[in-house]
Amino acid sequence: MKRYEFTVNADSSRERLDVFLSVQQTEISRSRLKKLIVEGRVTVNGVEQRAGYKVRTGDRITIQVPAPVALDTSPEDIPLDIIFEDEYFIVLNKPVGMVVHPAPGHSAGTLVNALLHHCKDLSGIGGVERPGIVHRLDKDTSGLVMAAKTETAHKNLARQFKNREIQKEYLAIVKGNVKTDRGSIQAPIGRHKVHRKKMDTRALNGREAQTEYEVVHRAEGWSYLRLWPRTGRTHQIRVHLASIHHPVIGDNLYGGKSPGLKMARQALHAHRLELKHPITDSNLSFCAPLPPDMAIFLQSHGYDPK
């Protein structure tokens, strides 16, 4: 159990309780603070209060953060392709076929299993179900993924993602010849009303989504694209490309199956990340090379991606 104590001064009087606490410390995210308040783990002068309580000069506020619940997920010695690592966060090149975090049917062999073995002290960072994970990639999407190693780094990176300050670049091979050299797909994305594993641009509960793209190369029946998702919706790039009738080759869920253009998985790769270091604020850029299966496809169809 960790314990934090604060006394309200005159400058902070009349602030909301959750706002005051989010300003006074950097270890706990605002969303987690709200959860702790709901659970009764935050008191003002010894009394539980709501998140909207207006603090007063002299109020004594205490936060009690319970120790992380023991993870059912076990550390596993799985090799990692590390692009960058310091004491605050790690950037990895995730291989095709690796699930990011445990879920029904995938309790072992995940990125979380590997990270728990490699980093040793991730338990509870960002929540016990997904320790350290800031964002995710689909199982059959390769490329860059980050994990935080401290609560402060997790909070900062999550904020950068939420505020769309992190620039992501993907590479994809899609069906058909994309007509325009550059374009922007702007269509809301929500859960499909019938197929619950699918997302849809025609869903009634769709949320704003935008993906920009550039054609790198065109050939008979396919195009090679560079893409920049400006939002972070589930399956965003796959859904957006399918919505303009150019699904990712190999993406059977969204129409990417093609007899003449075969890939064992969706031809989508998280190629580049640009962000600010969560502690030093310095500009960082990371790149994961095109994976062998996508490179072989391009070369076998007459295009050298080098």
Q: What is the pLDDT of residue 17?
A: 95
**Predicted pLDDT at 131:** 77
Helix 17-24 to helix 30-38 angle (10° resolution) is 130
Specify the DSSP element, H or E, that contains 89. Answer: strand 89-94
Closest C-alpha among 231, 221, 175 to residue 201: 231
Q: Is the pTM of this model over 0.75?
A: yes
Out of 3.30.2350.10, 3.30.2010.10, 3.10.20.310, 3.50.50.60, select the CATH number for domain 167-273+283-300: 3.30.2350.10
Contact 83, 92 (CB under 8 A): yes
Note whether 139 and 99 are within 8 A (CB). yes
* Domain boundaries for CATH 3.30.2350.10 within the chain: 82-163, 167-273+283-300
Q: Give the pLDDT score at 104.
A: 61
By three-state DSSP, how is residue 273 classified? strand
Give the right CATH number for 82-163 from 1.10.1740.10, 3.40.50.1820, 3.30.2350.10, 1.10.10.10.
3.30.2350.10
CATH number 3.20.20.450 given to 2-65:
no
Rounded Cα distance, 114 and 112, in Å: 5
The residues carrying an active-site annotation are 138
Q: How many CB atoms lie within 10 A of CB 88?
A: 17
Write the CB contacts of 198 (distance below 8 Å, at least 6 apart in sequence).
191, 192, 235, 253, 254
3-state secondary structure of 242: helix
The percent of the chain in helix, strand and coil, each rounded to the nearest 5, is 20, 30, 50
- Numbered ranges of CATH 3.10.290.10 in the chain: 2-65
Q: Which helix (H) or strand (E) holds 145?
A: strand 142-148
- The one-digit pLDDT tens for each residue of the chain (306 residues) are 789 999 999 999 999 999 999 888 867 877 788 889 999 999 999 999 999 999 999 999 999 988 755 556 788 999 999 999 999 999 999 999 999 987 766 678 999 899 989 987 776 676 656 778 899 899 999 999 999 999 899 999 999 999 999 999 999 999 999 999 999 999 999 988 778 789 999 987 789 999 999 999 999 999 999 999 999 999 999 999 999 999 999 999 999 888 889 899 999 999 999 999 999 999 999 999 999 999 999 999 999 998
